[in-house]
């Protein structure tokens, strides 16, 4: 029976990867909406994936924030070897998350758990445009931005558009605009409609989606039945080298709707 379940899951993984036309899908059993331990399973799947695909030499791994990423970070294990060194950087400057789930915190935890290094990107949220433009000229910030530009690995999650807009305290005008444009998904501070078109970008520094297109190893980690539509929307236009790590609930809901 265990064998049947494994074969069943491999079939789901294959169908989902084919559906999105992407390199690989890894599917954990269950639904992370109702079983928090599924998030740890995402961490194990990411750990195995990184251990397999991270090249030797110096890797620069750009990571985003969020509650999924925060739990996944805690599940990682040593990835440094004599030949392989990993530097974790936040992919983008602050986009309005609580401290514990900010990209800065996630990259620090990932570095600690894997035995790697990390660099923080300190850009406060509420700044005037003028201060912002001055601040990003600072050498310390420029240095981290350069590292982000050289990232060969990106790890991020996918969220529901309006949920993320609310959580990040976007203005009433922005919320109305997102509703009007039928935003469904959010990732990297970009908002997407059901067809995977970008309908809004949060104006922040760091990794852009066009940068991500050229990054050899991209991991999207998101699950739960509640996120099925968001995952579907984002993955429609995701870079094709992306590996999607998700759960059975999201996968079945996506496949059933197609």
CB of 71 to ligand G3H, least distance (A): 8
Q: Can you give the binding site for ligand G3H, defined by CB under 6 A?
A: 64-68, 157-159, 164, 186-187
CB of 24 to ligand G3H, least distance (A): 20
CB nearer to ligand G3H: give 66 or 93. Answer: 66
CB nearer to ligand G3H: give 8 or 92. Answer: 92
| Token pair in block for residue 24 | 């690989």
DSSP-assigned letters across all residues of 176-199: HHHHHTTEEEEETTEEEETTS-EE
CB of 142 to ligand G3H, least distance (A): 25
CB of 235 to ligand G3H, least distance (A): 13
Cα distances from 211 to residues 19, 24, 40, 119, 195, in angstroms, run 24, 20, 29, 19, 21
CB of 223 to ligand G3H, least distance (A): 9
Asked if 138 and 146 count as a contact pair (C-beta separation under 8 A), the reply is: no
CB nearer to ligand G3H: give 135 or 175. Answer: 175
For ligand G3H, which residue has the nearest CB?
66
CB nearer to ligand G3H: give 20 or 42. Answer: 42
| Token pair in block for residue 106 | 């996630």
Cα dihedral: 24, 30, 36, 38 (round 10) = -30
CB nearer to ligand G3H: give 105 or 157. Answer: 157
Q: How far apart are CA 23 and CA 76, in angstroms?
A: 22
DSSP-assigned letters across all residues of 36-91: THHHHHHHHHHHHHHHHHPPSEEEEEEE--SHHHHHHHHH------SSEEEEEEES
CB of 129 to ligand G3H, least distance (A): 24
CB nearer to ligand G3H: give 84 or 247. Answer: 247
Q: How far apart are CA 51 and CA 45, in angstroms?
A: 10
């Amino acid at each position: 029976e265990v064998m049947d379940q494994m074969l069943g899951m491999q079939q789901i993984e294959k169908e989902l990867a084919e559906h999105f036309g992407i390199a690989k899908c890894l599917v954990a059993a269950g639904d992370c909406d109702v079983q928090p331990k599924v998030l740890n399973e995402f961490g194990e799947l990411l750990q195995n994936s990184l251990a397999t695909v991270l090249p030797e030499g110096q890797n620069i791994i750009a990571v985003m924030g969020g509650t999924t990423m925060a739990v996944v970070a805690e599940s990682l294990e040593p990835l440094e070897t004599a030949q392989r060194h990993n530097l974790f950087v936040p992919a983008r400057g602050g986009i309005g998350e609580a401290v514990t789930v900010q990209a800065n915190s996630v990259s620090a935890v990932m570095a600690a758990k894997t035995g790697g290094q990390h660099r923080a990107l300190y850009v406060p949220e509420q700044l005037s445009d003028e201060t912002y433009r001055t601040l990003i000229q600072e050498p310390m910030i420029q240095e981290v931005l350069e590292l982000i530009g050289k990232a060969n690995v990106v790890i991020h999650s996918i969220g529901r558009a309006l949920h993320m807009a609310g959580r990040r305290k976007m203005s009433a005008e922005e919320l109305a605009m997102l509703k009007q444009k039928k935003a469904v998904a959010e990732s990297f501070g970009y908002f997407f409609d059901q067809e995977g078109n970008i309908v809004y970008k949060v104006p922040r520094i760091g990794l852009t989606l066009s940068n991500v297109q050229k990054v050899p190893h991209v991991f999207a980690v998101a699950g739960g039945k509640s996120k099925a539509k968001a995952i579907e929307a984002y993955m429609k236009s995701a870079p094709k080298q992306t590996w999607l790590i998700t759960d059975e609930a999201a996968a079945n809901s996506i496949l059933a709707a197609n």
